[in-house]
Structure 1
Amino acid sequence: MPEDTDREQSEAAVAANRELFARFRSRLDYEQVYDVGAPEEGEIPRVLYHYTTVAGLSGIISSKSFWASSVRYMNDASETTYAEALIHRVVSKKLAASAYPWILERIPIREGFANPYEFGLSPFIVCFCEDPDLLSQWRAYGVGTAGVSIGIDIRTLDPYRGWPANSVLAKVCYDSEQQVRRVEDRVERWLGRLQSLISDGMNEKHENIFWHAASTSLREALADLFLTFKDPAFREENEWRLIKLIDLREELRLAAEKRSDEQIRAAHDAARVTLPDWPEPPRIDRPQSYAEGLDIRFRPSAMGLIPYVEIPLVCHTGNFSGRLPLVEVVHGPSSHREISFESLRLFLEVHGYGAFTEVRDSMIPLRR
């Protein structure tokens, strides 16, 4: 049957593409790029700080989670355009100067080439800072609104139970020379793997899909750089990012399937009320899903509705067992400093953050 032949050819192409992609990814020196997990002890500061409003603090405490917002809705649009332009410039130059300049004909490099949104993954980010009392951050959260910076010790989290799935903590790079070197290094390693596969005849064996796998592997190798490069002008922030990669299509598909199953079950239960012998609904074989079953939520902003997900960071042992590892809270500049500081302290104590959580006032005076 023609349909069977077409299906077999399609399945063979998918299998070949997976094989090629695995070969590109295997035995690469930058293999750690694909390993998403908790950072090792000693790599991060003892405490990292998340700036937010008191309303944000209330939500974080009650949910024991931080809100990770879609990277598309970051406050400063230059946070992505800067990385786009730099990666585009360096990759294009590096490939043009390589032994295979014709690669640019096979893999057109453009701005946004390494943007994870371009190949299915959607990054959601929580921003942290090394400095607990930074004027630029207080300005961002509105002087007079009693903002706070929340200090947490991520190293106290159990990497197997307390660390969120498909998430990585990464330090933002502000040094333009270092950024260029990092991109060049990734491209050189990818070129080495490409040369090896070409020598093995893989491009001839899988002519129709070889360059698709090559392009995808290069984009994936650069994706974390796209998310962690910022303009040197923001250097004082000393930012770290908790990045969660989400396959939105899979999450939405899983959510739709759950709704459908619930509707079928509700209809069946309603029918059984009057027809006790009503048969059980037929079992539906769903394709395997890699979705986590995340609740994609939205919060209003000046730009419209911003999608976000909650990322739980809960300790399972020690002083903060069952809670966030909240070791310090800094009360920001406020027009009602004394009373808002006392209410903040009381709020934290009511929620169990007393003896092991330091609460202190900002050293930055309020401008009147």
Structure 2
Amino acid sequence: MDQPTALAFVRRLAGKDLSLGGLEGGEIQVSGSSPMYPVGISTGEVWHYTDVGGLRGILESNSFWASSFRTMNDPGEIGYGLGIITEVWKSMEAKQPPEVVNFVAELLDPDSLLAAFEHVHLLSASRDGDSLSQWRSYAGTDGVSLGLAARSALSSDPSGFDVSAPNIWGMSWIKVAYRRKVQIARCELFLHGILRDLEGSTPPYDPAQRTAQQLQTILQIVSFKHPAFVDERELRSTVMIGGAEPPVRQRGNASVPYVPLIRLGPGNQVQRLPLTAVRYGPTATAGDIAKYRQVMVETGYGSVPLIGSEIPFR
């Protein structure tokens, strides 16, 4: 059942204090669940769309890559989410004391958030494994959608970082909210939660409290998209890195930071990805299908079902 996800920003690996564009702090644990938090899923399947090159790379490495927010198809999404929160706050701030107004203004400062977002990496998926818009936008002419068991969470892989113990903070499979009424209601709950946290406190406020709240602000922002994209039914796995530089890969002439996401078993051993199926698109030819099967067999995923799109080719 989908439910509000308990945020657990835990320093999973020992190391330097977190450094996220000014979000310095130690270990942070936010327990419990509340409607103010993004909704996560833990049942059913999630589907990641990619081309045939991506299929081979994912299966050979047993990992997905969460990429820098700058690689998003629409970087304006960040501004959209921040705009919703800021709009709601403008309707509330007149009733707040100056010290609280200043605190929230710093929390929602675009420059500060942009600096923090330099450390944010996203992996996108969908609840719909056979979506025409997703085939067209993300899979190319020879792509597939990879089904993953939502209950088997992916973890950040520390082996690719340039220090032995980076700080990794993450949250898996957040449901993106598209309806404006839902977005506004969530922002109201979120901001009222911040105001409750500040009750009884006096400036200067606890830096660790501010860190936790700005991390939550980032999660709110990445969980909002314009209503025009509602048919994507998008889910996002969000990772934030502190105290280390992530590896980079080449995309054309650009170097793109990314964070490998893997499935860890007992003793932190890397396991096979929790694939439930590989689905090929509506334009796949017999040659394409044979190519997908060959890649799956060569990478040890030959037993995973290979299924076809039900969308009629046009």
TMscore range, shorter length: 0.7 to 0.9
Tell me how far 1:300 sits from its aligned partner: 1.3
Tell me how far 1:71 sits from its aligned partner: 1.1
Residue of structure 1 equivalent to 2:259: 309
Residue of structure 1 equivalent to 2:186: 182
Residue 114 to residue 180, structure 1, CA distance change in 2 (3 Å)? farther
Q: Which has the larger radius of gyration?
A: 1
Give the aligned residue type for 1:227.
Answer: V
Are 1:137 and 2:137 an aligned pair?
Answer: no
Residue 148 to residue 28, structure 1, CA distance change in 2 (3 Å)? closer
- CA distance in 2: counterparts of 1:82 and 1:194, whole angstroms: 26
Match of 2:175 among 168, 171, 178: 171
Residue of structure 1 equivalent to 2:150: 154
- CA distance in 2: counterparts of 1:106 and 1:143, whole angstroms: 45
* Secondary structure, counterpart of 1:155 in structure 2: coil
Match of 1:236 among 231, 236, 244: 231
Q: TM-score when scaled to structure 1?
A: 0.64
Tell me how far 1:85 sits from its aligned partner: 1.1
Give the aligned residue type for 1:299.
Answer: Q
Residue of structure 2 equivalent to 1:55: 53
Tell me how far 1:195 sits from its aligned partner: 2.4
More deviation, 103-112/126-135: 103-112
Bigger strand share: 2
Tell me how far 1:124 sits from its aligned partner: 0.5
Residue 92 to residue 326, structure 1, CA distance change in 2 (3 Å)? same
Residue 314 to residue 26, structure 1, CA distance change in 2 (3 Å)? closer
Residue of structure 2 equivalent to 1:360: 307
- CA distance in 2: counterparts of 1:351 and 1:106, whole angstroms: 51
Tell me how far 1:90 sits from its aligned partner: 1.0
Match of 2:83 among 80, 85, 109: 85
Q: TM-score when scaled to structure 2?
A: 0.74
Tell me how far 1:216 sits from its aligned partner: 4.9
Contact 1:115 1:223 in 2 (8 A): no
Residue 325 to residue 213, structure 1, CA distance change in 2 (3 Å)? closer
Count residues with an aligned counterpart: 275
Contact 2:50 2:139 in 1 (8 A): no
- CA distance in 1: counterparts of 2:111 and 2:33, whole angstroms: 19
* Secondary structure, counterpart of 2:155 in structure 1: coil
- CA distance in 2: counterparts of 1:168 and 1:25, whole angstroms: 13
Residue 51 to residue 359, structure 1, CA distance change in 2 (3 Å)? same
Q: Which runs of 5+ in 2 are unaligned?
A: 1-22, 157-167
* Secondary structure, counterpart of 2:296 in structure 1: helix
Q: Which runs of 5+ in 1 are unaligned?
A: 1-17, 204-208, 253-293
Give the aligned residue type for 1:358.
Answer: P
Are 1:331 and 2:269 an aligned pair?
Answer: no
